[in-house]
Amino acid sequence: MDFEAVIGLEIHVELNCPTKLFCDCPNRPGDEPNLNTCPTCLWLPGAQPRLSQAALEKAALVCLALDAELQPLSAFDQKVYYYPDLPKGYQLSQAHQPLARGGGIELTAESGSPRMLRIHHIHMEEDVARLVHEMEGRRPISLVDFNRAGAPLVEIVTEPDFRSPREAMEFVKALRTRIRYAGASDCSLETGTLRVDANISVRPRGSAEMNTKVEIKNMNSIRHVGDAIAHEIERQVAAVQTGETVVLHTRLWDPEKKATVPMRAKFAGPCVPDPSVPAIELTADWRALMRARLPEMPAARAGRLATQHGLTADESQALSADPEIAGYFEALVGGDVAPRPAMHWLLTQLLPALKERRLELGASPVAPHRLAGLLRMLARDEINANAAREVLIEMFSTGDAPEVIVAARGYQQVSDPNALEALIDQALAANPAAVADVRNGQGKAMGFLIGQVMQASGGKANPKIIRDQLNRKIDAAG
Amino acid sequence: MDSIFLHSNPDPAPAGDGPLRGLKVALQPNLAAAGWPAGAGSRALAGYLAPEDATIVRRLRQAGAMLPGYTRMSEFGWGLQGSEAGRALREHAADAELVLDLAGESRVAAARAGACGFKPSYGLVSRFGLIGLMPSLEVCGVLAGTPAKIRGILQAVAGQDEHDFSMADEPVPDFAPPKTKARRPSLGIVTEALDLMSGEQAQAFRDLQGSLARSGFIVREVSCPDFPLFALVHRIIGSVEASSSTGRYDSVRYGPRAPGARNWNEMYLQSRGAAFGPLLKRLLFQGAFFQFERYEAYENACRIRARLLAAMQRLSAQADVLALPAGDGEPGGNPATPADIWAGFSPTLFANVTGQPALILPPAPDGARPAIQLAAARLQDARLLAAGEELLDAFQGDS
């Protein structure tokens, strides 16, 4: 029998607000354990939550970036369960009245036709503490770090619209790009500021039934999302074919074993309205203000880059996939660099060099105005492309301005034909066989001669001038 | 006999010099006072020292009140078993007491102590630093000899608090003493509340009703046929909220841990099991039942609550203040059951469910006149206290 998968995603995004959701503690989970805590996020007796305005605004931007509709009235509920990572026995979350409903992302299906993947709702909630289980000698000990407790999260719950691992991966990529554009989170699966859980069930293709689903967690890269879903679909199809019953539960993805392993029965605790956090009323004016504050989204930016700079759709989309990259590109162009060299140097030189050094573009030691300076020198023929690559490498290590490096290293390109004449004559005299090959129309030999002159010039000669001069002299001699 | 105070403040002198200068206000150990053992009457909080002042406590200190200490209270303030609310007043160790009112405790304790007991409107006083149990029902009540003293305390502690976002952004009633004497308030007797009383108690209340009419008060009967539903709504919502709010007492960050557990999970379960007394456990079991097994009953209770709120608002439009019997609270003796508490406090529960203010005036010292409970619409607290004063004046005139 032919099966199809029914997949829905639950995506947690940690907002990059300066403080936690209900108190003024710094939102820095990675600090020394339990440094960023107060009576409220430890939920000491008598504590009262105070909803962060900044978190509400960032959450609203996430909703708008995903085309979800902000609800005029939303409220927090207590999601009750008992676990040491939850300092008050319930998590404040929006179960009954979420911040936004609807929305979604339209992707291009493998067939090439557009495919809408819908969002059911988006709600705010607080993160829980981090548990560390260690050994103290031979005694097992459990430690709780409350730095993360109360960190602001939004959870995006999709409709079960996904049918393949690819759709899930593409959706997560597009969602990540949009949220980064909104400036609300860095959305890193690796560090856990983006967490993707998938609910998966299988059914005979063409059937409309919804079978028992299994939740999978612990995928910390986009590739793991795809691998884990693909594996879980296979596992369930095999189970159904052997007559096994699928039960509702949660499984963890083990990237080493490339398999999901059972974790626990899926949690479904009660949610009761919370009387301590007032309901959130979003006026039409406030919603309009947030819409006005939403930065340009990736599709709009790609369209703009294509028209403004004459790029193809693929090129402009590649540049727009990350707001940092698009911003860097626009800074280069703003620094009088032609669009195509700007794109080329950014995508093929700067980004690989950063990746090699495990750096993000935002932390690049080469600022856009410095790279623009280098590329302007290249465009004016003051240096050649080889020298420019050398200078870029040196800019990484020294942080110096390109002009300084070019002057210090003597990378200035020699374009004066008179200054090159002696070197060219020398090369012609020393390589009569190659000259003969050129006359016989062998292009390779020309390259060889250019290389000889370049070497003799210490790499500074302008290759275009060398070629022109070589051609002139060989033609004149013949 | 035990000392009056569970914890005596070694330094009761006020920091500020304000309108409450010299007034001694006793607190319950569920209101945080920096450095005091705020145990809230529960083993779950044994040894817990409050890290900072509750907003109410800070405002009392600023107004010049003296804080002699913490009195003994029932576990998390629910019911009056184990509570000594009113004793500090009776024994002249305090001029006023703050007592959490979840079901009517502050009002009933006042009547028992021969004092006035006032439950303010919900949202009028800050909850910051209050170790609560039923967050949407409870409010810090005030026991004092006269409505004027209560008014002074409310003037000092009521109003917006940047630490408590749950307080609505609404005007605070003016608690300044009325300058001119208003006309005598009209009283609306809630007849269904009388049905909850024994024949003898109902008759005593009828007699009081007659004497008030003779004293020049306009007395009319008003009806809320759903009045018996208050107990049901309180029971479901109160137990569910209690179940949620006590989830934090997990012995991880404070509180005693059960010894001998082999791992954190066992420690967690055993500590929670050992932390609470039998009465509270029964309440929590009920709450967990509604939360996990009968959620629709909880939703229905929330809907009925909205209906009851509207019904009481309609009654408030029919008279200046509502008048009801006071009730006795749960019967003395051990052990009380949750059902005893809802039955014993049945005439006072309504104000916790609706969030409206209520005031109990004590019975005559010779028992010739029963206690009476007055209530007004939400935020009519000042008018309610003024009406209470008028009634007390009239009683004085009678005797």
Same-domain pairing of B297 and B329: no
Segment B249-254 long-range contacts (CB within 8 Å, at least 24 positions apart): B249/B42, B249/B44, B249/B45, B249/B275, B249/B276, B250/A82, B250/A84, B250/A87, B250/A89, B251/B44, B251/B275, B252/A84, B252/A87, B252/A144, B253/A42, B253/A44, B253/A87, B254/A44, B254/B45, B254/B47, B254/B48
Domain membership flag for residue A290: no
Subunit contact A140:B263, Cβ cutoff 8 A: yes
Domain membership flag for residue A438: yes
Two structure tokens written together for A236:
């369930």
Same-domain pairing of A102 and A186: yes
Q: Measured between CB atoms, does B225 come within 8 Å of chain A?
A: no
CA distance B109 to B328: 9
Of A135-144, A259-268, B213-222, B371-380, the least confident: A259-268
Question: pLDDT exceeding 90 applies to what percent of chain B?
Answer: 79
Q: Measured between CB atoms, does A273 come within 8 Å of chain B?
A: yes
Confidence of residue B181 (pLDDT cuts 50, 70, 90): low
Cis peptide before A417 (omega within 30 of 0): no
Which value does ipTM take for this structure? 0.91
Question: Residues A38-49: what's their mean pLDDT?
Answer: 94
Q: Cβ distance A101 to A120 under 8 Å?
A: yes
On the 0-12 / 13-18 / 19+ scale of CB atoms within 10 A, B11 is: exposed
- Domain end (from A229, A255, A281): A281
pLDDT attached to residue A34: 96
Same-domain pairing of A394 and A437: no
CATH number at residue A432: 1.10.10.410
Question: pLDDT exceeding 90 applies to what percent of chain A?
Answer: 65
Of A267-281, A367-381, B190-204, the least confident: A267-281
Same-domain pairing of A404 and A423: no
**Which residues on B lie below 8 Å from A53 (Cβ)?**
none
Subunit contact B166:A142, Cβ cutoff 8 A: no
Nearest-CA distance B371 → chain A (Å): 32
Subunit contact A46:B292, Cβ cutoff 8 A: no
Same-domain pairing of A324 and A365: yes
Nearest-CA distance B179 → chain A (Å): 36
Q: Cβ distance B380 to B313 under 8 Å?
A: no
In Å, what is the CA distance from B59 to each residue of A419, B18, B157?
88, 10, 6
pLDDT at B399 over 60: no
Nearest CB partner across the interface for A89, out of B54, B165, B247: B247
Subunit contact A275:B298, Cβ cutoff 8 A: no
Same-domain pairing of B290 and B363: no
Domain membership flag for residue B2: no
- Domain end (from A409, A440, A455): A409
Question: Residues B273-290: what's their mean pLDDT?
Answer: 94
Subunit contact B253:A44, Cβ cutoff 8 A: yes
Same-domain pairing of B108 and B123: yes
Condensed to tens digits (0 to 9), the pLDDT of residues A63-83 reads 999 999 999 999 999 998 888
Instruction: Work out the mean pLDDT of chain A and round it to a whole number.
Output: 92
Same-domain pairing of B248 and B211: no
Which residue in A has a C-alpha nearest to residue B45's C-alpha? Answer: A45
Which residue in A has a C-alpha nearest to residue B138's C-alpha? Answer: A275
Domain membership flag for residue A75: yes
pLDDT at B311 over 80: yes
pLDDT attached to residue A142: 86
Domain membership flag for residue A288: no
CATH number at residue B363: 3.90.1300.10
Task: Taking the CA atoms of A365, A367, A372 and A373 in sequence, report the sign of the dihedral they define.
Answer: negative
- Domain end (from B302, B335, B365): B302
Q: 3-state DSSP call for residue A245? A: coil
Most confident option among A9-13, A266-270, A412-416 = A9-13
Same-domain pairing of A79 and A178: yes
Condensed to tens digits (0 to 9), the pLDDT of residues A393-424 reads 999 989 899 999 988 888 887 778 888 888 88
Secondary structure of A360-383 in the HEC alphabet? CHHHCCCCHHHHHHHHHHHHCCCC
Question: Residues A330-338: what's their mean pLDDT?
Answer: 95
Total count of domains within chain A: 3
Residues 130-149 of A with CB under 8 A from B: 140, 142, 144
Mutate which of A40, A44, A136 to test chain B, going by most B C-beta atoms within 10 A?
A44
Condensed to tens digits (0 to 9), the pLDDT of residues A114-138 reads 999 999 999 999 999 999 988 888 8
Most confident option among A16-20, A267-271, A473-477 = A16-20
pLDDT at B5 over 60: yes
**Which residues on B lie below 8 Å from A144 (Cβ)?**
252
Question: Residues A439-461: what's their mean pLDDT?
Answer: 86
Domain membership flag for residue B254: yes
Condensed to tens digits (0 to 9), the pLDDT of residues B72-126 reads 999 999 999 999 999 999 999 999 999 999 999 999 999 999 999 999 999 999 9
Same-domain pairing of B33 and B148: yes
Same-domain pairing of B240 and B366: no
Could you list the residue range(s) of the whole structural domain that residue A228 is in?
A: 3-281
Instruction: Work out the mean pLDDT of chain B and round it to a whole number.
Output: 93
Domain membership flag for residue B84: yes
Nearest CB partner across the interface for A46, out of B32, B247, B263: B32
Give the residue with greater pLDDT, A28 vs A256: A28
Q: Cβ distance B137 to B234 under 8 Å?
A: yes
pLDDT at B328 over 70: yes
Subunit contact A87:B253, Cβ cutoff 8 A: yes
Confidence of residue B57 (pLDDT cuts 50, 70, 90): very high
Question: Residues B254-283: what's their mean pLDDT?
Answer: 87
Q: Measured between CB atoms, does A42 come within 8 Å of chain B?
A: yes
Could you list the residue range(s) of the whole structural domain that residue B147 is in?
A: 7-229+303-398
- Domain end (from A409, A442, A465): A409
Q: Cβ distance B346 to B230 under 8 Å?
A: yes
Which residue in A has a C-alpha nearest to residue B167's C-alpha? Answer: A278
What is the distance, to the nearest Å, from the Cα of residue A77 to the centroid of all Cα atoms in its chain?
A: 32
Domain membership flag for residue B202: yes
CA distance A171 to B192: 61
Mutate which of B100, B122, B253, B300 to test chain A, going by most A C-beta atoms within 10 A?
B253
In Å, what is the CA distance from B332 to each residue of B40, B58, B340?
21, 35, 10
Of A133-142, B58-67, B339-348, B382-391, the least confident: A133-142
Q: Cβ distance B361 to B116 under 8 Å?
A: yes
Question: Residues B28-43: what's their mean pLDDT?
Answer: 97
CA distance A468 to B206: 120
Condensed to tens digits (0 to 9), the pLDDT of residues A189-231 reads 999 999 999 999 999 998 888 889 999 998 989 999 999 999 9
Q: Measured between CB atoms, does B256 come within 8 Å of chain A?
A: no
Which residue in B has a C-alpha nearest to residue A271's C-alpha? Answer: B291
Confidence of residue B255 (pLDDT cuts 50, 70, 90): confident
Same-domain pairing of A145 and A225: yes
- Domain end (from B302, B332, B353): B302
Which residue in B has a C-alpha nearest to residue A146's C-alpha? Answer: B253
Report which DSSP code applies to A71.
P
Same-domain pairing of A150 and A171: yes
| Residue A334 main-chain phi, psi, to 5 deg | -65, -20
Same-domain pairing of A266 and A374: no
Give the residue with greater pLDDT, A290 vs B259: A290
Same-domain pairing of B314 and B289: no
pLDDT attached to residue A109: 84
Confidence of residue A7 (pLDDT cuts 50, 70, 90): very high
Same-domain pairing of A123 and A199: yes
CA distance A228 to A187: 19
Q: Measured between CB atoms, does B368 come within 8 Å of chain A?
A: no
Domain membership flag for residue B175: yes
Domain membership flag for residue B1: no
pLDDT attached to residue B15: 66
Confidence of residue B333 (pLDDT cuts 50, 70, 90): low
Confidence of residue A439 (pLDDT cuts 50, 70, 90): confident
Same-domain pairing of B270 and B121: no
pLDDT attached to residue A268: 64
Same-domain pairing of B323 and B186: yes
Domain membership flag for residue B210: yes
- Domain end (from B272, B302, B332): B302
Same-domain pairing of B145 and B69: yes
**E strand segments, chain B:** 7-8, 25-26, 69-70, 96-101, 116-119, 139-144, 186-190, 218-222, 321-325, 358-361, 372-375
Nearest CB partner across the interface for B166, out of A46, A269, A278: A278
Nearest-CA distance A35 → chain B (Å): 14
Domain membership flag for residue A72: yes
Subunit contact A275:B166, Cβ cutoff 8 A: yes
How do strand B186-190 and strand B321-325 relate by DSSP bridges? parallel
Same-domain pairing of B286 and B312: no
Residues 294-323 of B with CB under 8 A from A: 295, 298, 302
Same-domain pairing of A353 and A392: yes
Domain membership flag for residue A313: yes
Q: Measured between CB atoms, does A278 come within 8 Å of chain B?
A: yes
Same-domain pairing of A316 and A463: no
pLDDT at B1 over 70: no
Same-domain pairing of B223 and B204: yes
Nearest-CA distance B257 → chain A (Å): 13
Confidence of residue A173 (pLDDT cuts 50, 70, 90): very high
Domain membership flag for residue B169: yes
In Å, what is the CA distance from B365 to each residue of B84, B207, B212, B369, B396?
20, 17, 18, 8, 12
Same-domain pairing of A462 and A315: no
**Which residues on B lie below 8 Å from A90 (Cβ)?**
244, 247
| Residue A21 main-chain phi, psi, to 5 deg | -70, -35
Question: pLDDT exceeding 70 applies to what percent of chain A?
Answer: 99
Subunit contact A87:B248, Cβ cutoff 8 A: yes
Total count of domains within chain B: 2
Condensed to tens digits (0 to 9), the pLDDT of residues B88-99 reads 999 999 999 999
